[in-house]
C-alpha cells in the first residue's frame, strides 16, 4: 500500500468547480493540488486559471480586482490578462525602458466541458497543444449537470478514492428512513470487470427488477460503472428512451484534504422540477460518506496496518496498483501500462 497517500498525481485534468458557480466578470480563489489558484470568467464567458500570487511582490491576486478582462493586483496595480501576460505596470515613468512582456503570472490549462471547469496540473514542462482530453459524460452531448454538489473531506485522496469503489459500505453508511434503516437482507452480488484506459469498469449489465425508479429511462435499463485515475467514478445508466450519468470526482486540496464533487446528468427534461429533491438526496448521501471518513481519521491517526480482503476490497487494491504504476512510469519516463486484468468479483451488500 502507498501509506499516507500524500503523493499527488500530476499530468491529469482535475475538476475544479462546477461552472455555474463562476459568473461572468467574477473570479474564484481556491487551493488545489497544494497550489493557490485564481479562476476567472471573462465578460465573454471564457474561463481561465492562474497562480494566485502576483509575480511582483507575492501578494495573492485575489485581493485585487477583475474588470471582466484583466486582473489588477491590489498592491501596486500591476495588471494581468487571462493568459498571465502582464499588460500594465503603473509605476513605470515616461521614458523608462521596461517591457511588460517580460512579466507573466503562471497559468494553468483550463477548460469548461459539460458544465464543469477542469484544470490541468502538469509535472514540469508540457505541450499545451497536446494535452489529454477532458473527461466527458457519455450520451450527454453538451448538457450541463442538473445537480452539482461539492464537499470537503478531511482526508488524503487515497481514502477519498476508496469511497468511489467500495461496494459493501452502503448498507451500513447510507441508512436513512427513506432509504435503508439498517443493514439487513444483504444480497450476494457477482459483477464482471475489465480494464479500460487509466482504470477499469464494471461491465454493463441489466439492473435488478427492484430498481423500479429507473423505468422512467425506458425498457431494458442497463448500467456500467467506470473508474479511472486520478479519481473518477462515472456511472452510465441507459434505457431504450433516456440516459442518466452520475459523476463523482475527487480533487486534492492538499496532501491531507480532498474536495469531492458529485454531478448528476439526465436526458429527461420534464424531471427539472425534481432537481431540488435530487440535490438534497445527493447531499445527504455525500455527507454520510464524509461523516464516516471523519470518524475513520481517528483510527488512521495511529497509522494502523490496514487489511484489505478479496473480493470486496479488490477494487481498492487495483487503485493502489494503478497509482503505483502511474508514478513509476512517470519516474522512469516510460508509457503507463495498465496492470488490471479481467476478473469476476463476488461479495454481499
At residue 233, the pLDDT reads 97
At residue 171, the pLDDT reads 84
Does the bond joining 228 to the residue before it have cis omega, within 30 degrees of 0? Answer: no
pLDDT tens column, 190-240: 999 999 999 999 999 998 766 678 889 999 999 999 999 999 999 999 999
Q: Is the pLDDT of residue 5 over 70?
A: no
Which cell is 160 given?
Answer: 477519498
Confidence of residue 1 (pLDDT cuts 50, 70, 90): very low
Q: Is the pLDDT of residue 4 over 80?
A: no
At residue 185, the pLDDT reads 75
At residue 2, the pLDDT reads 46
Burial class (CB in 10 A: 0-12, 13-18, 19+), 55: middle
Q: Is the pLDDT of residue 90 over 80?
A: yes
At residue 223, the pLDDT reads 96
Asked if residues 189 and 348 have their Cβ atoms less than 8 Å apart, the reply is yes
Does the bond joining 320 to the residue before it have cis omega, within 30 degrees of 0? Answer: no
Burial class (CB in 10 A: 0-12, 13-18, 19+), 142: exposed
Q: Is the pLDDT of residue 84 over 70?
A: yes
pLDDT tens column, 284-327: 999 999 999 999 999 999 999 989 999 999 999 999 999 999 99
Dihedral of alpha carbons 18, 5, 107, 77, sign? positive
Q: Is the pLDDT of residue 183 over 60?
A: no
pLDDT tens column, 127-153: 999 999 999 999 999 999 999 999 999
At residue 110, the pLDDT reads 98
At residue 175, the pLDDT reads 77
Average pLDDT over residues 52-64: 98
pLDDT tens column, 20-40: 999 999 999 999 999 999 999
Task: Output the pTM of the full model.
Answer: 0.94
At residue 179, the pLDDT reads 53
Above pLDDT 90, what percent of the chain?
85
Distances (CA, A) of 171 to 175, 233, 238, 257, 299: 7, 19, 25, 26, 21
> Which of 269, 251, 272 is closest to 260 using CA atoms?
251
Mean model confidence pLDDT for the chain: 93
Q: Is the pLDDT of residue 3 over 50?
A: no
Amino acid at each position: 500500500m502507498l501509506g499516507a497517500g500524500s503523493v499527488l498525481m500530476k499530468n491529469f485534468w482535475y475538476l475544479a468547480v462546477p461552472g455555474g458557480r463562476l459568473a461572468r466578470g467574477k473570479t474564484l480563489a481556491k487551493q488545489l493540488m497544494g497550489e493557490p489558484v485564481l479562476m476567472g470568467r471573462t465578460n465573454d464567458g471564457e474561463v481561465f486559471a492562474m497562480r494566485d500570487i502576483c509575480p511582483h511582490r507575492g501578494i495573492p491576486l485575489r485581493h485585487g480586482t477583475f474588470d471582466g478582462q484583466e486582473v489588477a493586483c491590489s498592491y501596486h496595480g500591476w495588471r494581468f490578462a487571462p493568459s498571465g501576460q502582464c499588460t500594465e505596470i503603473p509605476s513605470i515613468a515616461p521614458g523608462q525602458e521596461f517591457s511588460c512582456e517580460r512579466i507573466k503570472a503562471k497559468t494553468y490549462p483550463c477548460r469548461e466541458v459539460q458544465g464543469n471547469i477542469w484544470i490541468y496540473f502538469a509535472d514540469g514542462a508540457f505541450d499545451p497543444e497536446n494535452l489529454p482530453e477532458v473527461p466527458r459524460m457519455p450520451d450527454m452531448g453538451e448538457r450541463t449537470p442538473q445537480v452539482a454538489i461539492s464537499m470537503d473531506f478531511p482526508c488524503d485522496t487515497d481514502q477519498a478514492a476508496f469511497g468511489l469503489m467500495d461496494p459493501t459500505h452502503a448498507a451500513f453508511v447510507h441508512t436513512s428512513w427513506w432509504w435503508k434503516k439498517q443493514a439487513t437482507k444483504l444480497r450476494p452480488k457477482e459483477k464482471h470487470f475489465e480494464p479500460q484506459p487509466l482504470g477499469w469498469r464494471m461491465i454493463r449489465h441489466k439492473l435488478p427488477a427492484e430498481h423500479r425508479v429507473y423505468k422512467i429511462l425506458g425498457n431494458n435499463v442497463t448500467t456500467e460503472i467506470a473508474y479511472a485515475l486520478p479519481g473518477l467514478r462515472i456511472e452510465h445508466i441507459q434505457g431504450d428512451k433516456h440516459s442518466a450519468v452520475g459523476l463523482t470526482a475527487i480533487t486534492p486540496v492538499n496532501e491531507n484534504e480532498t474536495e469531492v464533487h458529485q454531478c448528476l446528468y439526465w436526458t429527461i427534461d420534464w424531471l427539472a422540477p425534481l432537481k431540488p429533491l435530487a440535490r438534497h438526496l445527493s447531499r445527504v448521501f455525500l455527507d454520510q460518506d464524509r461523516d464516516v471518513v471523519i470518524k475513520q481519521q481517528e483510527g488512521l491517526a495511529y497509522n494502523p496496518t490496514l487489511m484489505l480482503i478479496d473480493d470486496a476490497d479488490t477494487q481498492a487494491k487495483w487503485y493502489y496498483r494503478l497509482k503505483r504504476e502511474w508514478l513509476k512510469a512517470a519516474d522512469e519516463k516510460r508509457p503507463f501500462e495498465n496492470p488490471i486484468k479481467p476478473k469476476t468479483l463476488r461479495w454481499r451488500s
